[in-house]
Structure 1
């Protein structure tokens, strides 16, 4: 019995060493997560996730004491999957995917070195680790749209006339817009995190846990729409004296706190008794395991180290200086002539290695084109990034009043169509990505294409293509102008991109 207990202790020691090795090999990924926790109020709860997980595991100590500990080689067959996911995300600098791959390795370490029985005992704490990953920003646009529609619908039901354009609306007392801070993403993420924890601590059946988590998702979305409506109404009824500025956010968080208390109060009606602790008799024998698997441990360490090493091998700095990339636009082609700018707007792209902006006219049609050239994805220089937008939030001049995906015949296929307006002008914009010679408006497909280009060692650039024109009230003329421009000049724009790439390679050589 003493040998068995010693074997369990040694296997636990191997697990601790493997976990520390994981943290060492992927320390930059962990540091990236911590950096986001420290500067983002939305994800500040990330600092609490690992301590909560340790607490949840400690709560299971009585059950773990009677759980057999035994290494399981089956986990090694799955470990390459999150490793490969991490590698693909690393080469294209997709932070969320990289962090998910890192987190997914932890349960596999538990399975490989402590066994499937231990994984089953702490399944939820292992699952809860996913809340440490700062993700969810992709939900902001649909949440903004829902909040705007929900708020406007209630305003109309209140008998107040309202003019709506996208996420902007006007009522007799003033103008309003639903921006990122009004999307409710903070409430949703906080509610989901707390709801999942509450469901685990208060229910034992999987069905009740899932239902409460779904409730924790739906409630903050609806509550945020109601919060937005209440703020508009308070301001409207107070002649725009209340619910503006700082108190706008104070009302929001106070309201959210009330909603959370309501959620927990409703959930308490279906609370279940906790799972009984196993009887003390037989703990020692049940907790025993086999001899430590040093060969499996060594193979596990090699698998963990393989992906960072592969990333270093792929990290070939192509040595491009920004001034070496000469990206230019044609002066005239297919009846289109270069003209003076018809707007002072341009996309808000960051970290590009080169950019080009020009304006063209053919008859009465005027079109602008903007190219953002990225030699390769890297930290602070990514084409597919949430910071690359048509306009920044709360822009002092321009407002986004619509965004959709449309198909363009004879052009790149599907593009993102955005409508902007200022006090003096309206713009219709089409934008998409050109990655390794392929066109797409899908950011996920774009990241895969970037990863494929890096793995091939091709070194071809990623380019954001934006074309825009002034929008008329009917909308048919400007869409036709964009379609015609894409058909006539897209091949020439691609030729200029290829020329810039070839010249940069010659300069690098």
Structure 2
């Protein structure tokens, strides 16, 4: 066009530059996410998200050529909030928040650099990219309970005698546990990811896409309940010869393949006809104005630099030391520690017995990577040997009844203690620590658990509950600092 000296840059190098800058800026968060993809099979599919996004961008390339590429400076404000969230997640060691914000930053940067029209064309790619975040493990306990509920319900429907206690299911001839691997979390996450992609590629109407996404959410949950029921039935009919051990896993993955086949087959019934792409724009090359792109790039770098400076300032906190809390509680050696919790990287741990009660206390003088009071690897009790039968909320604590594989029962009361809060809700404690981290304050805290064997007609529950109330009345300072 005559009369203009506007210089442009090709769209492809812009996208590559944004990806490279994002990779360098968030390297530590990306590396921790990739480590999770490698370590947990639940998130192995995350390795496919980037190639799929590249393919989807390729499919939409002709539409990008037809829209106006103009940076959106307002997105810099949204990016600043996302980066602040990322910084808070890092400081408070909330990995899912840190990783979620880090991966969300890339779509924000693309939106800011290319503008609203381009973001409208790439809306699904920008959303689908978020399936790279390895999140969802928090759902495992709820899925375990739901799977156990469905298994017992189906067994009762076919009139097989069944007795359930917690996550243990007993039938004539065998005892089953709904373990973490039986929760169906792998099926659920993989199904929703595939369901979202299938809905986008197969349907044009938003209503159809939403319905199919909901279908892909509920189908694997129901299917996993049927799978668990099927395993129990096969074991029951074969007198425990089949559907145990490796057979359990083989049936599981085979069943998952069948579920995905059913999901796609049902979805294909209402598939929309494939629209022909316009060939007129296919060979064009979209361009980005150089000056606006440079200015928005400077804005992105400036926002990121400001967050890094804030992060560096807020992370300089001192480590808090604990008092001799073990001596104050006068703990002797515990006779049976099979219930004992597991807290990784604690500054100090004490366990033992006193006056018929078992105690476990873990103290953290700081809140940094691998030394966190609230961490997904920490265990409130030994969940490999014990399962929750019932749970009752106390003020600032939780009281649960546990059952072991051999039928033994225990009462357990637990809570988290910090200088500002005592609560059994880990998210509430993590939120308080996040606020302390953002303000550059120390984030000490501890976990307190009291337990006792439960026998019919005894007062073990009352003793555990009373002792927890006594410790709560002393507070964090009285238990851990001794002030």
TM-score by length of 2: 0.92
Q: 1:383 aligns with which of 369, 373, 383?
A: 373
Shift of residue 212 of structure 1? 0.5
Equivalent pair of 1:243/1:251 in contact (CA under 8 Å): yes
Equivalent pair of 1:234/1:243 in contact (CA under 8 Å): yes
Partner SS, residue 38 of structure 2: helix
Shift of residue 205 of structure 1? 0.9
Which consecutive unaligned segments of at least 5 residues does structure 2 have?
Answer: none
Shift of residue 62 of structure 1? 1.1
1:455 & 1:133 partners in 2: Cα distance?
A: 23
Aligned to 2:326: 329
Aligned to 2:462: 480
Partner SS, residue 351 of structure 2: strand
Aligned to 2:22: 22
Shift of residue 156 of structure 1? 1.4
Shift of residue 71 of structure 1? 1.0
Equivalent pair of 1:202/1:272 in contact (CA under 8 Å): yes
Query: Which range moves more in the overlay, 9-18 or 426-435?
Result: 9-18
Q: 1:341 aligns with which of 329, 334, 342?
A: 334
Equivalent pair of 2:415/2:447 in contact (CA under 8 Å): yes
1:472 & 1:107 partners in 2: Cα distance?
A: 57
**Residues 127-169 of structure 1 deviation map (CA, whole Å, 9 limit, x = unaligned):** 0011111111011111101111111111112221111101101
Shift of residue 195 of structure 1? 0.6
Which consecutive unaligned segments of at least 5 residues does structure 1 have?
Answer: 503-509
Equivalent pair of 2:319/2:442 in contact (CA under 8 Å): no
Please give the residue correspondences for 1:116-265 in structure 2 after superposition, counting only pairs within 5 Å: 116-265=116-265
1:2 & 1:441 partners in 2: Cα distance?
A: 70
Please give the residue correspondences for 1:278-293 in structure 2 after superposition, counting only pairs within 5 Å: 278=278, 280=280, 290=289, 292-293=291-292
Aligned to 2:389: 402
Please give the residue correspondences for 1:5-16 in structure 2 after superposition, counting only pairs within 5 Å: 7-9=7-9, 13-14=13-14, 16=16
1:146 & 1:72 partners in 2: Cα distance?
A: 45
Q: 2:440 aligns with which of 433, 436, 457?
A: 457
1:446 & 1:434 partners in 2: Cα distance?
A: 8
Shift of residue 499 of structure 1? 2.4
1:176 & 1:424 partners in 2: Cα distance?
A: 13
Query: Which range moves more in the overlay, 440-449 or 161-170?
Result: 440-449
Cα distance, 1:15–1:6 mapped onto 2, change above 3 Å:
farther
Aligned length: 481
Shift of residue 15 of structure 1? 5.1
Equivalent pair of 2:350/2:362 in contact (CA under 8 Å): yes
**Residues 170-205 of structure 1 deviation map (CA, whole Å, 9 limit, x = unaligned):** 111111110000000001111111111110110111
Partner SS, residue 451 of structure 1: helix
Find out whether 1:353 has 2:353 as its counterpart.
no
**Residues 24-70 of structure 1 deviation map (CA, whole Å, 9 limit, x = unaligned):** 11100001111111121110011110110010010001111101101
Cα distance, 1:235–1:392 mapped onto 2, change above 3 Å:
same
Aligned to 1:506: none
Shift of residue 368 of structure 1? 2.3
**Residues 380-403 of structure 1 deviation map (CA, whole Å, 9 limit, x = unaligned):** 11111121113455x3xx321335
Query: Which range moves more in the overlay, 432-441 or 220-229?
Result: 432-441
Shift of residue 296 of structure 1? 2.6
Shift of residue 414 of structure 1? 4.1
1:84 & 1:66 partners in 2: Cα distance?
A: 35
Equivalent pair of 1:87/1:307 in contact (CA under 8 Å): yes
Shift of residue 6 of structure 1? 7.1
Cα distance, 1:282–1:45 mapped onto 2, change above 3 Å:
closer
Equivalent pair of 1:416/1:431 in contact (CA under 8 Å): yes
> How much is the aligned-residue C-alpha RMSD, in angstroms?
2.6
Shift of residue 282 of structure 1? 12
2:212 & 2:3 partners in 1: Cα distance?
A: 45
Query: Which range moves more in the overlay, 462-471 or 170-179?
Result: 462-471
Shift of residue 278 of structure 1? 4.2
Shift of residue 358 of structure 1? 3.4
1:246 & 1:462 partners in 2: Cα distance?
A: 42
1:46 & 1:310 partners in 2: Cα distance?
A: 31
**Residues 252-280 of structure 1 deviation map (CA, whole Å, 9 limit, x = unaligned):** 11111011111101100111124453462
Equivalent pair of 1:326/1:354 in contact (CA under 8 Å): no
Cα distance, 1:288–1:14 mapped onto 2, change above 3 Å:
closer
Shift of residue 211 of structure 1? 0.6
Cα distance, 1:338–1:433 mapped onto 2, change above 3 Å:
closer
Query: Which range moves more in the overlay, 53-62 or 367-376?
Result: 367-376
Equivalent pair of 1:173/1:240 in contact (CA under 8 Å): yes
Equivalent pair of 2:334/2:351 in contact (CA under 8 Å): no
TM-score by length of 1: 0.88
1:3 & 1:111 partners in 2: Cα distance?
A: 29
Shift of residue 281 of structure 1? 7.2
2:46 & 2:91 partners in 1: Cα distance?
A: 25
Aligned to 1:505: none
Cα distance, 1:400–1:339 mapped onto 2, change above 3 Å:
same
Shift of residue 460 of structure 1? 4.0
Cα distance, 1:317–1:488 mapped onto 2, change above 3 Å:
closer
